[in-house]
Chains A and B, each alone.
Chain A
């Protein structure tokens, strides 16, 4: 069976998806990157091989996420694309009428505006990671609530507490204060969700209208509290796709399908055995000029696969 592999390696999670000719998801993996993108990709690929049917034949591979170039080199990707394009591709394949995509991941958040299945505008969070998955993780841990139960708490809230969401530090002191005066935990939790949504709408949407249908993707979409807060703020239904947490990977698999022209062009995929290969990276500061660029070399055994980080181009293979 002709299949396409999409890999999304982000700051927090590494996701792999196999789709068939009709862009239907056959199998998927969601695992933590844990700061080791190469290992995460290799582990993901070997898990995927066990999970998938024996008769699948990978005809194209796409890579996305902040480690997309590294991943592309290691697995032999046919296309390496940014997360915006990948998420938009996945959402429009599923819901062609999508007008707005909210995507909140581990350390970044995006908003994508679409029209006729085409991206017309987008924005990403800037220097600060307040309001992303890592922020929520941190606050949940502080409240002593497992992140999986966070949403359920939020849904119980009747009188959400007012919490400042512009910065983790402020949010934390606000939360402590609310605890000290005796607010219910669920009200604090939902208050936090609301502040996060407020922060998102102020910083990313910046007053632009979020037209329905609104699709909510990324790891944070699993959080029912955030979903409810978005619905309250936007006064419209927010759709969370079943595979919301791996949509980036789905998008890059679809892009791989496009690039290889439905598998008629040969793929660069290095095969499932990639998981057993030994890869190593080495970085050094070049001292040829005053820029002292940090150059990274990626090797497979003794073979140099790729090299980047230099400004002048002398290391580009």
Chain B
């Protein structure tokens, strides 16, 4: 039995969990190749035109999974109490089922709003398709969560250990940040300069939770909470020298989060923020010019700042305390 895992969307969050889970049950997993032009084209062709870029890419990955018996597309409704995933992630199995010429879809429903028992049942039903032993399924899931924890901890430590050069925080969904084809190699382009990159993965989940619960209204979407909470934390604390907010065109939740984040950036002007919108028509030239200008701006600012203030305190230029100092 071979189960195909599309390397897109929530893959970048939960891959370690599912891979371990399947392998422990003796199921072979096949990963779709890294995103490329062919995958994008296949996705764009089979997706409705108004859908967001990440889902189009997802469909491309599903199409690239040949020679598998089943394709794993969980219906992730909610991963925490009181918040949901975005409507398109929620309906992903249906979108995939509506695409012709594909192997059957393996789509357990993950919904934490219905409690832990509901979740345990979903995992059991999924595992029962490959093993008759409840203990084995339980152990496989345990191994999976352990693998995921290890991965998350490592990401957090990696982020914290980065020092030196400019500190740039990238606020976005992991599927935008780590898919180098979609982000037009943003990470590589930034790393060429003397820059260390921070993401929301290096932040404690408690920090993000605290930031978003201070909003006048709770956000509906778990992954948008991460985006907004991280941006808010960095804007308030100045722990990074600049924030790049990477969002994909036609993403509903992002379009709301963008307004919120840019609003806060007006309030907390010490940390410059730049929004970059990507879509399937994105040209490299525009991205490069903006990125260069943004890093230039921060570098020049830092240079002057360090000349004026050897103590390393923020000189608070945007609000004009320069004259006062």
Contacts and interface: CB of A to CB of B under 8 A. Distances in A.
A291 B293 contact: no
A254 to B, nearest CB: 13
B277 A124 contact: no
B317 A115 contact: yes
Contacts of A208: 266
Given A115-B317, A115-B322, A120-B317, A84 B296 contact: yes
B269 interface: yes
Contacts of B294: 122
A122 B277 contact: no
Contacts of B288: 82
B292 interface: yes
Nearest to A80: B292
Contact of B296 (A82, A120, A124): A82
A82 B292 contact: yes
Contacts of B185: 311
B301 A118 contact: yes
Nearest to B38: A290
Contacts, number: 67
Contacts of B301: 118-120
B117 interface: no
Contacts of A84: 289, 293, 296-297
B260 to A, nearest CB: 14
Q: How large is the interface on A (under 10, 10 to 19, 20 to 34, 35 or more residues)?
A: 20 to 34
Interface string B8-41: 0000000000000000000000000100111100
Contacts of A122: 293-294, 297
A292 interface: yes
A302 to B, nearest CB: 28
B296 A85 contact: yes
Interface string A78-93: 0001111100000000
Contact of A120 (B38, B269, B293): B269
B293 A292 contact: no
A86 B247 CA distance: 27
Nearest to B283: A127
A126 interface: yes
Interface in A81-135: 81-85, 115-116, 118-122, 124, 126-127
A46 interface: no
B181 interface: yes
B285 interface: yes
B300 A119 contact: yes
Nearest to B262: A206
A187 B39 CA distance: 51
B320 interface: yes
Given A290-B36, A291-B37, A85 B317 contact: no
Given A291-B37, A292-B37, A83 B317 contact: no
Given A119-B297, A120-B269, A122-B297, A83 B289 contact: yes
Contact of A66 (B281, B285, B290, B300): B285
Contacts of B290: 124
A82 B297 CA distance: 11
Contacts of B277: 126
A115 B304 CA distance: 12
Contacts of B318: 115, 120-121
A181 interface: no
Given A85-B297, A290-B36, 18 more contacts: A66-B289, A82-B289, A82-B292, A84-B296, A85-B292, A115-B317, A115-B322, A116-B304, A118-B297, A119-B296, A120-B272, A120-B318, A124-B289, A126-B277, A289-B36, A290-B38, A291-B36, A311-B181
26 contacts: A81-B296, A82-B292, A83-B293, A84-B289, A84-B293, A84-B296, A84-B297, A85-B293, A85-B300, A115-B322, A116-B304, A116-B317, A116-B322, A118-B297, A119-B293, A119-B301, A120-B269, A120-B318, A121-B318, A122-B294, A122-B297, A124-B290, A289-B36, A290-B33, A291-B36, A311-B185
Interface of B: 33, 36-39, 181, 185, 262, 266, 269, 272, 277, 281, 285-286, 288-290, 292-294, 296-297, 300-301, 304, 317-318, 320, 322
